Structure 1
Amino acid sequence: MKIAGLTIVIAMLLILTNQVNAQKHVSSLLQYDKQIDGIISQMTLDEKVNMLHAKFMFVSAGVERLGIADMRYADGPFGVREEMQPKGWMPLGWENDKATFFPTGSALAATWSPELAYSYGTGMARETRLRGKDMILGPAINIQRIPTGGRTYEYLSEDPFLSSKLAVGYTKGVQDNGVAVCVKHFALNNQENNRGTVNVIVGERAMREIYLPPFRATVEEGDAYGFMSAYNKVNGWWCAENDILLNKILRQDWGFAGMVISDWGGTHSTVGSVKAGLNVEMPDQKFLGQALIDSVKAGKVSEEVINQRVREILRVRLAIKPIPETEANKEMTSQPAQQKIAYQVASKSIVLLKNDGILPLQLKSKPVIAVIGANATQIMGSGGMGAGVKTLYEITPLEGLKSRIGDKAEIIFAQGYDPVTFSFADMFRKKTPEEVEKKAQEKKIIAEKLTKEALEVVAKANLVLFIGGDNRAVETEGSDRKDIFLPSGQDELIKKIAAVNPNIVTVLTSGAPNDLNVVNPLSKALLISWFNGSEGGNALADVLVGNISPSGRLPFTLPVKLEDSPAYALGNYPQGGKNADVFANLVSETDPAGKTQAKKEDKPKDDPNTALYSEESLVGYRWFDTKKIQVMYPFGYGLTYTTFQYSNLKTNKVKYGKDEVIAVSFELKNTGKSIADEVAQVYVHRVNPSVEWPEKELKEFSRVSLNPGESKIVKLEIPVKNLQYWNETKQAWNDDLCKLELLVGASAGDVKLKKEVTLR
């Protein structure tokens, strides 16, 4: 009887184990393991370790003797970087490495379209293959925690669900076309100030529910082949040697089977990094070169660990077919098919925030249109520190308007304001008070001259198109903005313009939130057109003249003022002074001309190296809704040139078990006169929960295109398992079986329909 009982127990344990394994992602990369066994058995220790660090700035080594090609990386994530010298940051100066500049991350997120994200990934992969590369350093998917974040424009959204859907689309688009992704930056790289030294202190529930879901989705739904570890620490451990992040969560919990590379200069140890799961140190071999060989020989690292790190690289190498150098770079990187994708994304991303009836532009009377603003002619493919795109072309707003309007109106242009410019050298040299004063006086003279010219132009016009916002020097890798005010005195300029000509349409070409308190009431229409890629100017012009209806939706909340946002309201950011940036130091060290010299500053009195995430899960709209704080424009907001009606909300049941799916349907009708897209959004509010939750959370959405007068039944599904919370005590996902209010609407601030269901 005892044996029979033991047999039953063992059988039950096997069933439970199989159930757990059945739920765990099984990567397609595992199919290569038998072949890899044979390869590793032939490799020497030196050959193995040689694969674990950089060979050149954007290359890590294979094993030529065994026919294993090097791994070639393409910097991204919104366009393939120009070809660089093997051991430095200087470009080679080629002509055919000019690439398509795709709209940046926040623009892609504003489309609310996983399908467009897939197309985006397809375009990125095609150009990566033309250049003979194997892995694109993207998508960049960290949550936009602070409005001032230097990389907000590059990341996707403040919401984990929206970010997840887009990240999966991008990942599949890339990998379905023969290129590996390198999802970045893992994890919690939510600020640029002191990113190379800061220690993020975050609760595990918030980490699991807010900051990690997009990364998890790229693994479990997208089968991502590569990850990049972030510069920062998380709960005391550098991301490149964080056993909890890389081994426990990424590999064990999610089933990731690919390779992890460090961010450039982001490795800090030998034994800790290789044991924790780092595969490749970039862009050098300070830790995973000879030091690693010595550690193996000293018995501090077993060769089994080395074999596993090599295995994870080889899985990706065998999955991605290398392109011989003789076949790469034979034609221009940017191609018409990819340029078309860039236009499609740009045209669906533009967000109309306000329209008093002035748009679309009426051109029958051949009006005089004053286009004011440096951003009307500013290119956005480059301009700050970090990844940029050497574009084949970039259509600016002014060029797009001239192309689409032609002789239907007279366009006159004035620069209006002096744009911010980026100087790498200025990052390492503190100016004297005399230099600062001289520069201020020069700027004042320039501003007065440009303002005078702009006012003379607007006085002659029937309509003013004010093209303002940030640029790539304002929003840049390596540093966060000090505030979200429009730079270069734009607020003062638009006040003066309004006094002369109040017929103002304002377009903000920014990748992140701006303060709109001045510009909003002075504008009869207000749009955000992002850093919108090679075709951005054409897309903007098509929206302004009415060739297409705007259909972008905000991927983040626009606050009334910066201090209302959670990290600022709680005093969690900024944390103190700013240290020299890790990447900037890296580039300065390799500057062949020796023009820049990194200078170590004294440590500031306030510790800049601890970031407390005490807002926990209340990020973005979750904070504003829960705390009942008024916003300028809510998450998910965006107008079109038509109107929509929501009605007849239904669910297939009223009670749901934890393994069931909530099927939601409702009728959506275009009640206006223009064809347009609506982004219908479903939020969930917990009525009687057993644990704390935000006021509501996005759980599904759909972009729906409708002709005038047309109706559609929109059907959406929400698996109950997607409503779980992370139980920190049990270290597991738990159900919170409570009553739910399903909220269907056009944004987080515009709920049209409600229905209550019960989880049991």
Structure 2
Amino acid sequence: LREIYMPGFKAAVQQGGVLSVMCSYNKFRGEYLCSNAYLLTDVLKEEWDFPGVVLSDWDATHSTIPAAKAGLDLEMGTNVSDYKDYYFADPLIDAVRSGKLDKKVVDDKVRRILGVMFAINMFGERSNGSLNTPEHQQFALKVAEEAVVLLKNENNLLPLDISSVKSVAVIGDNATREHAPGGYSSGIKALYEVTPLEGLQNKLKDKVKINFALGYEKTSQEIFGKGVVYSPNPERATQLIEEAVAAAEQSDVAIIFGGLNHDFDTEGLDRTDMKLPYTQNELIKAVHQANPSTIVVLISGSPVEIYEWADLVPSILQGWYAGMEGGNAFANILFGDVNPSGKLPFTMPVKLEDSPAHAIGEYPGTGGTVNYNEGILVGYRYFLTRNIEPQFCFGHGLSYTQFAYSDLKIKESVKEVDLPLEVGLKVTNTGDRPGMEVVQLYVGDKQATVERPDRELKGFRKVYLSAGEEKEIKFTLDRDALSFYDSESSSWKAEPGIFTILLGSSSQDIRLMGEFNYSDK
């Protein structure tokens, strides 16, 4: 809890200065989160000194007095016919009037709500902002470009050369699908959305012929809270694959835009597997057989199983749901106007059952209760510590250039009074084009008295380097970077002993290693 799930929230509160925090639907230690005094008051409001408002997710409030005492400030979207029946409407008034709830509890909620309203200037004159300006659109393009992850690039198939490629097969339902409006509360009303096909058309114009084929089609419907219903048409699926193969055979290169959509990446629904839906696996293998120069761009917000064809296809990219400028970003990456620099923020397993919660048999739990018995070994920590080979590891992401790491600088002996500890290195772009590298720093505690991961990410830097350029990179490690949370004493501990420093391009691609002896004296 303290080491895996809380740090992001703590950083948002103490470093980001957020003004509101939402409590969700599930229970923690038997208590609904919107009635959980330990999380909302003990940790959030008292330990982290959060000054803002705690509001419920829609229809996530289940009580009046327990929720009010626990730290909920604002109830939202409760499924009742009349507002007065909200838990924090007439029932809250009655609780105060009857003496069951101290008025000071409500006063604190009012103070917090008014504090947020004043902080965002709701009571004063507010200047007009700007919406969807050309600057915003260029920023959206830059974000999409820097997010794309080059997973594989065998024989340097990418980037494509617009002067030598005469024809491109563009294949896949996701080549023409707009994703911005989907996913319920994650959906947005974009002014426009450039699809992958449109982005390639914008880039190539009449210089390169585009042969489009649907390849596969969406034959699913997501029913909120119930799941995904399929309506497959095998004859139609076979026809689409045949059309895609024909397009690939007529083209120099084939680009398949596959992955998921918001029938799967959405709220109110857990995916039951990590498989590519529809007939995508069959499509990709058939297209590759027809044209070995096949590129797959995965559009999704979460990992998928690709082991059936990952070794066959020479180039694979993770493109995500790339927003309103996504199509232009993909075109810029594919044809080398932009050098990819994204890194995987998760581990992509070979199969779902390789993941810790499934491997140890905890998911989906029993009777609505799941025990997190994987402990600290979540995500990449599990794969590295248990020596489970993933499809692609956490932090992985290739470039069209190469980077060399050198000159690690670190003290060999460190006392607590010496902290923060400085770690230095040099990174050189040894290739022939500019690029950005994400230098990742991992720490391993080799002599801890409790179970610890093989290594944990404790810092990263994204650095731009021209061809041949070298830069010095520095990290600082404070006591938190060496500590674990001791549940027995309810405190953070940095134990004396040997710590390993690992610097690399991913959690597995380690370029420099060193160690130091830490003393708490």
- Using the size of structure 2 for normalisation, the TM-score is 0.94
- Are residues 1:335 and 2:133 paired? yes
Of 349, 372, 382 in structure 1, the residue corresponding to residue 171 of structure 2 is 372
Residues 1:257 and 2:55 aligned together:
no
Q: Indicate whether 1:641 and 2:404 are aligned.
A: no
Residue 384 (structure 1) aligned with residue 143 (structure 2): no
The correspondence of residues 155-170 of structure 1 with structure 2, limited to 5 A, is none
The aligned amino acid for 1:242 is N
Return the alpha-carbon distance in structure 1 between the equivalents of residues 253 and 228 of structure 2.
43
Deviation of the 1:487 alpha carbon: 1.0
Which residue is 2:465 aligned to?
Answer: 706
Q: CA deviation at 1:246?
A: 0.5
1:759 and 1:660 map into 2 onto residues whose CA distance is 10
Does the Cα contact within 8 Å between 2:19 and 2:52 map onto a contact in 1? yes
Alignment of 1:276-355 (within 5 A): 276-284=70-78, 285=83, 286-322=86-122, 333-355=131-153
The residue type equivalent to 2:141 in the other structure is Y
- For the 8 Å contact 2:423–2:475, the answer to whether it is kept is yes
Task: Tell me, yes or no, if the aligned pair for 2:412 and 2:515 is still in contact at 8 Å.
Answer: no
Q: Is the 8 A contact 1:653 1:662 kept in 2?
A: no
1:485 counterpart residue number: 275
Q: Quick check: 2:437–2:464 contact (8 Å CA) kept in 1?
A: yes
Q: Which whole-Å CA distance do the structure 2 matches of 1:619 and 1:429 have between them?
A: 26
Give per-residue Cα distances to partners, 1:280-335, cap 9 Å, x unaligned.
0002452100001111111110101111111111111111112889988xx98433
* Contact 1:659/1:719, CA 8 A, preserved across alignment: no
> Where in structure 2 are the equivalents of 1:465-484 lying within 5 Å?
465-484=255-274
Shift, 1:734, TM fit:
2.1
Structure 2, unmatched stretches of 5+, are none
- Are residues 1:514 and 2:312 paired? no
For the pair 1:552 / 2:350, whether they are aligned, the reply is no
The residue that corresponds to 1:462 in the other structure is 252
Which residue of 67, 73, 88 corresponds with 1:273? Answer: 67
* One-letter amino acid matched to 1:741: T
User: Letter of the aligned partner of 1:695 in structure 2?
Assistant: D
Q: Secondary structure at the match of 1:630?
A: coil
Is this contact kept in 2: 1:504–1:522, CA < 8 A? no
Q: In structure 2, what is the Cα distance between the partners aligned to 1:283 and 1:277?
A: 18
Q: Is this contact kept in 2: 1:508–1:530, CA < 8 A?
A: yes
The equivalent residue for 1:394 is 193
Q: Secondary structure at the match of 2:182?
A: coil
From 212, 216, 226, the counterpart of 1:413 = 212
Q: Write 1 or 2 for the structure with the bigger share of strand.
A: 2
2:9 pairs with 215, 232, 241, which one? 215
- Determine whether 1:727 maps to 2:486: yes
Structure 1 Cα separation of the partners of residues 470 and 408 of structure 2: 14
Give runs of aligned pairs for residues 652-663 of structure 1, distance below 5 A.
652=411, 654-657=413-416, 660-663=419-422
SS of 2:311's partner is helix
Q: 1:300 to 1:662 in 2, by over 3 A?
A: same
1:264 deviates by 0.4
CA contact (8 A) 1:651 1:665 kept: yes
1:695 aligns with 2:485: no
Task: Quickly say closer, same or farther: Cα 1:722–1:428, change in 2 above 3 A.
Answer: closer
Alignment-derived partner of residue 518 in structure 2: 759
Q: 1:323 to 1:410 in 2, by over 3 A?
A: farther
Secondary structure class of the residue paired with 1:633: coil
Post-superposition CA distance 1:386-445 (Å, at most 9, x none): 3311111001111111111222211110000012543447x66999xxxx8xx44xx212
User: Do the aligned residues in 2 keep the contact of 1:549 with 1:675 (CA within 8 Å)?
Assistant: yes
Query: Which runs of 5 or more structure 1 residues have no equivalent in the other structure?
Result: 1-206, 576-605
**How many residue pairs get matched?**
512
Q: CA deviation at 1:651?
A: 1.6
Aligned to 1:501: 291
CA deviation after TM superposition for structure 1 residue 361, in Å: 0.4
Aligned position for 1:224: 18
1:682 aligns with 2:441: yes
Q: State the alpha-carbon separation in 2 of the partners of residues 385 and 574 from structure 1.
A: 24
C-alpha contact (below 8 Å) 2:411/2:516 kept by paired residues: no
Q: Percent identity at matched positions?
A: 40
Which amino acid is the alignment partner of residue 322 of structure 1? M
On the 8 A contact 2:221/2:228 being kept in 1, the answer is: no
Deviation digits for residues 673-704 of structure 1 (CA, Å, limit 9, x no counterpart): 01000000010011212222111100011001
Contact 1:418 1:446 in 2 (8 A): no
Q: Does 1:619 align with 2:378?
A: yes
Determine whether 1:244 maps to 2:42. no
Q: State the 1:572 CA deviation.
A: 1.3
Q: Secondary structure at the match of 1:418?
A: coil
Residue-by-residue CA offset, 1:431-464 (whole Å, 9 max, x unaligned): 9xxxx8xx44xx2122122112212211211110
1:359-378 CA deviation, whole Å, 9 max, x = no partner? 11022234111001110001
Other-structure match for 1:566: 356
Equivalent residue letter for 1:319: A
SS of corresponding position for 2:44:
helix
Deviations 1:212-257 (A, max 9, x none): 0000111111222110001111111111010000110001111111
Q: For the residues of structure 1 that align with 2:495 and 2:361, how far apart are their CA atoms?
A: 31
The secondary structure found in structure 1 opposite 2:185 is coil
User: For structure 1, which segment, 246-255 or 715-724, has the greater mean C-alpha deviation from structure 2 after superposition?
Assistant: 715-724
CA distance in 2, matches of 1:240, 1:561: 35
Structure 2 contact 165–252 (Cα < 8 Å) conserved? no
How big is each residue's C-alpha offset from its partner over 1:45-83, in whole Å with a ceiling of 9 and x where there is no partner?
xxxxxxxxxxxxxxxxxxxxxxxxxxxxxxxxxxxxxxx
Assess, with a 3 A threshold, how the Cα gap between structure 1 residues 267 and 658 changes in structure 2: closer, same or farther: farther
What letter is aligned with 1:343? L
Task: Measure, in 2, the Cα distance between the counterparts of 1:664 and 1:275.
Answer: 46
Q: Does the 8 Å contact 1:690/1:738 carry over to 2? A: no
What is the aligned counterpart of 2:203 among 397, 401, 404? 404
Matches within 5 A, 1:657-676: 657=416, 660-676=419-435
Residues 1:447 and 2:241 are matched in the alignment: no
Residue identity opposite 1:216 in structure 2: K
Q: Given the alignment, which residue of 309, 326, 330 partners 1:536?
A: 326
Structure number with higher relative contact order (C-alpha < 8 Å, ≥ 6 residues apart): 1
Q: Letter of the aligned partner of 2:362 in structure 1?
A: N
Deviation at 1:662, TM superposition (A): 1.2
Paired residue secondary structure (1:309): helix
- RMSD between superposed Cα atoms in Å: 2.0
Amino acid at match of 1:383: G
Take 1:319 and 1:744, find their aligned partners in 2: how far apart are those partners?
41
What amino acid maps onto 1:257 in structure 2?
P
- Residue 709 of structure 1 and its aligned partner are, at CA, apart by 0.7
Cα distance 1:674–1:388, how it changes in 2: closer, same or farther (>3 A)?
Answer: same
SS in structure 2 of the partner of residue 448 of structure 1: helix
Q: Equivalents in 2 of 1:524, 1:485: separation in Å?
A: 20
Question: When the two structures are superposed, what TM-score results if normalisation uses the length of structure 1?
Answer: 0.65
